[in-house]
Amino acid sequence: MMLRVENVLSPDSVSELRTLIDAGEWVDGNETSGHQSRTAKRNRQLRHGSEVAHRAGRLVLDALGLAPEFIAGALPLKVFPPLFNRYEGGEAFGDHVDNSIRRIEGTDFRIRSDLSATLFLTDPDTYDGGELVVKDLFGEHRVKLPAGDLVLYPASSVHRVEPVTRGTRVASFFWLQSMVRDPMHREQLYRLDRTVRILSVDRGPHDEAVIELTNLYHNLMRNWADA
């Protein structure tokens, strides 16, 4: 399942975050690449582990915690600290697959990467190219969202970033381990949660059907989730 989450960051929050990271130290994007990705990747990345990266990542994590659509779709158990990249002057990231396990060097922190996320931090009319292209059996899905919007997609997918031929594309990206490992279970829970939210608005939270569907949602979570 691919999911667009709108307005994770407000325009003011995007501006605050960009002011912070634009003044940081940017290094070769292969600082955190795996073996296969290293051969396909040409971009710059905010230095991982720096104070600026830590502060910026905390701003993103705080915003994610206030985004119900993200939580409903991802059901996050652990989130890798957000990273930040930029593409310009023809830079791109060719077809690749994200590592199945992500860890932070020198710590015990590690996650199984069930989902990947890209949070766009540049308005799409300020640069050409730079589409995130996610492949599945249906074909290719091209994603280029307004600043502040996020796309969530399977980390198991082959994907790439097209060359940026004008302007600069800046984004935050990260991986997460979901409480619900099975993608089909996760999608069904998201659809059920969305239905409950719609019915709650139409009928009120104490409607019999809303209560029964809420009960079903939580019982399925008990069966499928690891917490």
pLDDT (0 to 100) of residue 93? 97
Residues of the chain with pLDDT under 50: none
- What pLDDT, on a 0 to 100 scale, did the predictor assign at position 39? 67
Q: List, in sequence order, every residue forming a beta bridge with 129; answer none if it has no partner.
A: 164
pLDDT of residue 227: 84
pLDDT at 37: 57
Q: How far apart, in Å, do the first and last CA atoms of the chain sit?
A: 21
Q: In a 10 Å sphere around its CB, with 0-12 CB exposed, 13-18 middle and 19+ buried, how is residue 111 labelled?
A: buried
What are the pLDDT digits (tens) for 69-96?
Answer: 999 999 999 999 999 999 999 999 999 9
- Position 126 scores a pLDDT of 98
* Domain ranges for the chain: 3-178, 183-224
Partner residues linked to 103 by β-bridges: 110
Res 162: pLDDT: 98
Helices (H), 66-207: 68-74, 183-203
Question: Which residues have CB under 8 Å from 227's CB, separation 6+?
Answer: 77, 179
Q: Is residue 39 packed enough to be buried (19+ CB in 10 Å), middle (13-18) or exposed (0-12)?
A: exposed
pLDDT at 213: 97
Rounded to a whole number of angstroms, the CA Rg of the chain reads 18
May I ask the CATH architecture of the domain 3-178? Sandwich (2.60)
Q: According to the model, what pLDDT value does residue 40 have? A: 79
Amino acid, single-letter form, for residue 63? A
Nearest-5° angle of CA 99, CA 13, CA 27?
45
Cα–Cα distance measured from residue 197 to residue 99, given in angstroms and rounded to the nearest whole number? 34
CA separation for the pair 54, 45 (Å, rounded): 13
